[in-house]
Amino acid sequence: MNSEKAPIIDIEQLNQNLKKQNLIPIQIEHIKTNNRIILEKDLTDFLELIKTYEQNHVYFKYDFYKKSDYEIPKDYYDLQEEEFINEINTHNEKIKSFDFNIPKALKIFIIKDGFLVGINQENFWIEEKNIKSADLAIHEVDLKFSVQPKSKTNEDKNELREIIFNDPEFASKTNQESRYYYLVNLLEEQELYNKYKHLFSPPGYFKSGKIKMFMDETAKIFKETKIKKE
């Protein structure tokens, strides 16, 4: 874990500070009102201000970055070449070195005359460290390793679709998940992966990625072709 300390007070210390001043801390998950008054004060000054309002309850909400938004899942790269996998592993190892328990924001407030009156504290440490999201990292690695000309790509797509359309099993694959795993298995079983891997770099998973997009389009063409024949 990264040993850097967060500039935003952690939840344990916040609760202690509030209770010392005979305040009741209440952590919330969502804020669903726009009736807010944001003060330009630090935490100490804000707690002093609360005393003048004779408030007992103090509400707070922490926001965190999601590690899953930055770490690339194995489904995206487990069928790739070693160099591609090494690039992804380098990115993921960097992500694992950061402490995602560091909050990016703290909202703390009281309720006064129907308004939320409080302060916001922010610490956009991800942006400050220029850490790439998983989607951006995948895009950059994909560009680095994708060298097939467009004409070759289209030719291979059409060729692969002919193989799929001639397979009776494909007609039974009626949803994205079944179509995704159908193609993964087809490429492995018929040893077609090396020929067509440039079409699916990175492959993604059944809800997102190049295999999903390819198979969605393939299913649409298959359906249209079937209707014309009928």
Q: What are the boundaries of each domain within the chain? A: 11-134, 147-224
The answer on pLDDT for 87 being more than 70 is: yes
Sequence-ordered list of residues with C-beta below 8 angstroms from that of 139, at least 6 positions apart, any chain: none
The residue that leads in pLDDT, 65 or 148, is 65
Tokens of 72: 């690339």
Short-list 70, 144, 80, 78, CA closest to 104: 70
Q: What is the mean pLDDT of residues 115-134?
A: 91
Closest Cα to residue 18, out of 117, 101, 120, 110?
Answer: 110
- The pLDDT score that the predictor gives to residue 2 is 43
Taking alpha carbons only, the member of 133, 78, 123 closest to residue 102 is 123
Q: Give the pair of three-digit tokens for residue 80.
A: 């790739």
pTM: predicted TM-score of the whole model, two decimal places? 0.58
Calculate the average pLDDT of the chain.
Answer: 84
Report the phi/psi class of residue 102: left, alpha or beta, with left for phi > 0 and alpha for psi in -120 to 50. Answer: beta
Whole-number pLDDT of residue 146: 63
Tell me the pLDDT band of 113, cut-offs 50, 70 and 90.
Answer: confident
pLDDT in tens, 42-64: 888 998 888 888 888 999 999 99
Least confidently predicted of 18-32, 99-113, 132-146 = 132-146
User: Which of the residue ranges 92-96, 100-104, 141-145 would you say has the lowest mean pLDDT?
Assistant: 141-145
pLDDT surpassing 90 at residue 225: no
Separation CA 79–CA 88 (nearest Å)? 12
- Is the pLDDT reported for residue 121 higher than 80? yes
pLDDT digits (tens, 9 = 90+) for 125-182: 999 998 988 888 877 777 777 655 556 678 888 899 999 999 999 999 999 899 999 9
| Cβ atoms of 110 and 50 closer than 8 Å | yes
